[in-house]
């Protein structure tokens, strides 16, 4: 298969790249830094620089992948922002950083990669259960929650526009042991990504526009 991963220097994105390479797939994976690019090249990925929050950086994406036909595209880049417990108003800088990365990022990246999707491709955005309105029982990190609720809306619109061409889903990866998830998280990154790869492989056109747990269970928006 031919795989594209946006934001793959570490954590869940890097693990997707590692597992797909181990399975013998061709992987194009982006990072923001030279170290990230080198790390991806060392496992056999084609890699180039991309900052999803920077319009100038994203504007080059379509020509970088011109002529490709990706079977799977994963928009993974994300930041958590301030880890608040109640209703602490975010600074404008924090608001901009989180919303630009988690919401504007996919809104900039997905239009640039749409023409490089193979017919019947799978397109996944890494969202979070923390963005779910229906399942919410806590207001912690409310800026991050708002950003993931917003990107769920973005994914729904993507599915309405690209649904004929690609199966488009939002994923909750679980609470995963990465820099973001921390050492006390439930799931090793290998398991979360292994589950999401298996779910992606099973998706059918009827699944487009869904919000899915890493193991494929549908989640409430």
Ligand X SMILES: NC(=O)c1ccc[n+]([C@@H]2O[C@H](COP(=O)([O-])OP(=O)(O)OC[C@H]3O[C@@H](n4cnc5c(N)ncnc54)[C@H](OP(=O)(O)O)[C@@H]3O)[C@@H](O)[C@H]2O)c1
Sites of contact with ligand X (CB under 6 A): 7, 9-13, 31-33, 36, 50-53, 76-79, 101, 126, 128, 172-173, 175-176, 178-181, 185
Pairing of strands 70-75, 2-6: parallel
Q: How far is the CB of 203 from ligand X (least distance, A)?
A: 18
Of 65 and 176, CB closest to ligand X: 176
Q: How far is the CB of 113 from ligand X (least distance, A)?
A: 14
DSSP string, 12-65: HHHHHHHHHHHTT-EEEEEESSHHHHHHHHHTT-EEEE--TT-HHHHHTHHHHT
Of 33 and 89, CB closest to ligand X: 33
Helix (H, G, I), strand (E, B) or coil at 210: strand
Q: How far is the CB of 168 from ligand X (least distance, A)?
A: 16
Of 188 and 209, CB closest to ligand X: 188
CB 173 within 8 A of CB 12: yes
Please tell me what DSSP assigns to residue 90.
P
CA dist 51 to 4, 57, 170, Å?
Answer: 15, 6, 21
CA dist 65 to 41, 47, 79, 115, 122, Å?
Answer: 17, 11, 25, 9, 17
Of 107 and 118, CB closest to ligand X: 107
30 phi/psi in degrees, rounded to 5:
-105, 155
Q: How far is the CB of 136 from ligand X (least distance, A)?
A: 14
Of 31 and 103, CB closest to ligand X: 31
Please tell me what DSSP assigns to residue 91.
P
Q: How far is the CB of 67 from ligand X (least distance, A)?
A: 23
């Amino acid at each position: 298969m031919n795989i594209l991963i946006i934001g793959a220097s570490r954590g869940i994105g890097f693990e997707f790249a590692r597992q797909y390479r181990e399975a013998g797939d061709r992987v194009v994976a982006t990072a923001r830094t030279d170290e990230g690019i080198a790390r991806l090249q060392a496992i056999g990925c084609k890699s180039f620089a991309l900052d999803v929050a920077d319009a100038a950086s994203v504007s080059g994406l379509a020509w970088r992948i011109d002529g490709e036909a990706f079977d799977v595209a994963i928009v993974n880049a994300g930041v958590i922002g301030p880890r608040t417990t109640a209703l602490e108003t975010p600074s404008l800088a924090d608001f901009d950083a989180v919303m630009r990365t988690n919401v504007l990022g996919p809104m900039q990246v997905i239009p640039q990669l749409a023409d490089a999707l193979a017919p019947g491709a799978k397109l996944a955005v890494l969202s979070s259960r923390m963005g779910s309105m229906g399942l919410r029982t806590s207001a912690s990190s409310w800026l991050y929650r708002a950003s993931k609720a917003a990107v769920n809306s973005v994914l729904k619109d993507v599915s309405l526009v690209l649904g004929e061409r690609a199966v488009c889903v939002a994923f909750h990866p679980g609470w995963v042991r990465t820099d973001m998830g921390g050492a006390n998280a439930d799931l090793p990154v290998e398991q979360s990504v292994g589950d999401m790869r298996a779910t992606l492989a099973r998706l059918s056109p009827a699944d487009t526009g869904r919000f899915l747990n890493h193991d494929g269970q549908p989640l409430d928006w």
